[in-house]
Structure 1
Amino acid sequence: MNTLDLIGSAVSNTFRSKTRTILTILAIFVGAFTLTLTSGLGTGINAYIDDTVTSIGASDVMTVTKTPEGATGIAAAGPVEYDPDAIASAQPGPPGQTVVALTPDDLDALAEIDGVLDVQATRSISPDFIQAGENDKFVIGVGSLIAGQTVQLAAGTAPDDDVDELQLALPLSFVEPMGFEDEDAAIGETVTIAVTDAERTQHLVDATIVGIAEEGLASPTGASLIPNDALSDALFDAQNVGIPSDQVERFAQASVWFDPAATDDEITDLKDRLTDEGYTGTTVADQLGAFKTVIDGIVLVLNAFAIIALLAASFGIVNTLFMSVQERTREIGLMKAMGMGNGRVFSLFSIEAAFIGLLGSAIGVVIAMFAGTAISSALSGSLLADLPGLNLIAFDPVSIVVIIVVVMAIAFLAGTLPAARAARADPVDSLRYE
C-alpha cells in the first residue's frame, strides 16, 4: 500500500463509526473555536496599538524626566520630603506625584550625552476653556506633538508649524457640543481659548480650526486640542505673564531624539547613560510594551482554557481509535498477514487521528472567523464606537495555520497510543479474534 492509498484508506476508515467520530470532532471544534477567537482578540487589539503608534510618539524619540531622590507617588513608603525644584508630573499618575524640574542647564546636559541627537522641552499649557462664538464654554487641555508624531484626523489637515497663523486641531467629541453641525462645518471656524496668567488675569486667544482629531486608545489628544507652534507660543507666553524669568523655563519632561537605526542594545545603553546622569528615559516601545503585556496576559489565560478543551478532546480521540482498533482487530491481522509492516499500520491509525484533528480544527476556525467578524462589526458600531479603527477580533493567516497545525499535532499525539497498539498486534492472534 503506497502513501496515497494509505491516506485514502485512513480517511475512509475515519467515518466507519460516524456518531463516535462526529462527537470527537465536536470536542475538538470547541477547543479550536475558542483558541481562534482568543488569538484573534490578541491580534486585533495589538494591531490597533501598532496602527496608532505614531499617535504616541516617533520610534526614535525618548521621553526624559529627572526624578527626585527617593521614592515618589505609589512607590513611596511614606511622606516625601519637600523639594523646591520639584514640579507636578506631566505623566498620568497618583495625586501629588512630582518630578524634579528640568532647567535649561539640564537640557544642555542632555544634549551632551553620547547618543542624543537633539533635545526639546515639553511645555505645559493649562487653558481655562474653549468657546465658539457665543456658545457654551468647555474645559479642554492642550496636547502636543513632537517631530515624527501624527494625529489621526476625521476631517481637515494637521496644524502647520511653519505658518504664523494660530491653528489647532479640535477633538472630534467637541464638534457638536460647541455648536458645529459636523466635522466639515467646523473646519475654518474661529474659536476662543482662555488662559489665566500668574497675576490672575485672563487672556483670550483666537485660533482657527484646521483639523478634527479622532480619539483613540493611544491618542495624545484625548480631550485636548493640538496647536501649531504659533498658537502654542501665544498660549504659553500668555500663561506665563507675571512669572519671574528664571521660573518660566522649568519643564516636567523633555523629548530626546536618538539614531532611528539604533539597535535595542544601543537604546538600552543610552538609557543607562541617562540614568548615570540622573535622568530616566522612556521610549515608545516601552509605552507600547505596557499595553501589549496586559493584552497578551489576558489572551494567554483565555488560550489556556482553549488548550484544556483540546486536551479533553484528545482523550476522545484516544477512545475513538482504541474502539476502532478493537473493532478492526481481524482486519489488522489480515493486513499484517498480507505483508503490511508495523510502521504502515501505525501510520494508518495515526493519519486517522490527524485527520480527525484537521476536521475539528478547520470547522472550528471557519466558524470562529465568521463569529469574530460579526462580533467585531457589531461592537464597532456600538460599545467600541469611540475607538475608530479598532477591529476587536482580527485574524492573521499565519496564526490560523499554526492553530490548525497545533490541533492536528495534538490529535496525532493522542492517536499514537492506539496506533502503537495496532502496530504491535500479532497477526495470528488478531485473525483468531472474535
Structure 2
Amino acid sequence: MRLALLGCGTVGSEVVRLLHTQSADLAARIGAPLEIVGIAVRRIGRDRGELPVDPAVFTTDPLDLVKRDDVDVVIECVGGIEPARGWLVEALRAGKSVVTANKALLAEDGGTLHDAAAEGGGDLYYEAAVAGAIPLLRPLRESLHGDRITRVTGIVNGTTNFILSAMDATGAGFAEALEEATDLGYAEADPTADVEGFDAAAKAAILASLAFHTRVGAADVHREGITEVTAADVISAKAMGCTIKLLCIAARGVAADGRETVGVRVHPAMIPLTHPLASVGDAFNAVFVEAEAAGQLMFYGRGAGGAPTASAVLGDVVAVSRNRLAGVRAASESAYADLPVRPMGEALTRYHISLDVTDRPGVLAAVAGVFARHDVSIATVRQGSGGGGVAGRGEDADLVIVTHVAPDAALAATVRALRGLDTVRSVASVLRVEGGA
C-alpha cells in the first residue's frame, strides 16, 4: 500500500517513525507492506531530526502528490481549512482513501469531504481528529450503530483541562494556570483556540454528527471558553462538592412542537465530584456516552500529543488499507436522521450565580422576585464562603444562588434582569451546573 503524507510536523514525523518501527507488524495486520512514496512539506530543508525515509520522497507540491497514480492512501496532518480541503477533495474524488486528523476542516465542511468520498468510492477515516489515541469515533460510528445514543458529554481539550485542574489543586487564578500550562508545553504560544473553546467546539460537532446521524457543523455549536473562570468560582464549586470542567455536551431533545432535535454546546460547568468526568485531571481527555441499550460508557486517555495522535492515524491507515486490498469500502456517512439543531436558549440546564449586593433588608426578596418573574426556581441560596444566608462586608454582601433546571433562555434573562436591580452591585460570575449536582 502506497502512502502520501501531507505535513511532517509533530504528528507527521511521529507517523513516519511508527511506520518504520512497526513496519513488520503493520504489514502482517494488513496483508501487504506500507510504503511512503511522498511527503509534502513547506520547506524541504527544515531540520526534522533523523527520519527513516529517503530524502527524495519530500516535495513542496501537495496537490501534485495527491494526484499521483501510485498513491493509494493520503494521510493529512497539516490542519486548517484551506488549502487542505482542496487537496483532500481532489484525492477522494480520484478514488484514494484519506486519513485525516483535521478536526477544524471536518467540523467546518465535513459534508464536502464525505460527498467527495462517496463520489470517488474511497474511505474517509478521522479517528485522530477527536481525543487523540482514545478509540472513540469508530465505536460511535460502528460499534454502537445498533443502539440509540441519547447524550455525549466530554472533556475533549487537554489544555483547558490542565488549566482548570491546576486552578482546582493550587488555588491559582486563570492567568497563572495558563502560564504554567504554557511553560510545560500544554498550551500554544497563542492559546485562543483552546481557552476560548474553538477546539472543543469542533470536536463536539464531529461527535454529535456521528452520535445522532446528523450533519452538525462548528457554527451549530454554542461555544464559551474558560477565560472568565476565577479562583473564587473554583472555591465556590468546592463548597458545593463540585469541580469545574470545560464540557462538550451533545444531546437529543424534543422541541415545543414535538419534533426531535439535537443540541450541541461547549462551556465551563460545575459537575459533582461523584460524576465520572470529575476525576479526569491533568491534560487527559474523557468522553461519557449514554445509550438506550448499552447504558453508560466512558472513554478515557491521552487526548493530544504526537505519539498518541499518530497511533490513531495508523489505526485508520490499517483499516483503510485492509479495505482497499479486499476491494471494499467502509460504511458511508450516516446522516439519515437530519435532526434540526435546537438553539442554546432551549437547552435545559442549571445556573450558579454569584452576586455582589447591597447589605440591607429586602435584598433577598428583590432577588427572589426576579427569579419568580422569569419562572426560574431557586434550589439553594448561600453566602459566598459556603455557609447560609448573605455574607456582609460593610455595605456590601456576597450572595450565591443555584437554580433548579430551566431553559437557558429563561436563566439568561434572569441574569440580565438581576444586573438591572439597584440592589445588585454586580453579577460576579455565572456558571452552569451539570450532572445532577
TM-score when scaled to structure 1?
0.22
TM-score when scaled to structure 2?
0.22
Larger radius of gyration: 1
Q: Say which structure is richer in strand.
A: 2
Q: Say which structure is richer in helix.
A: 1
Higher relative contact order (CA 8 A, sep 6+): 1
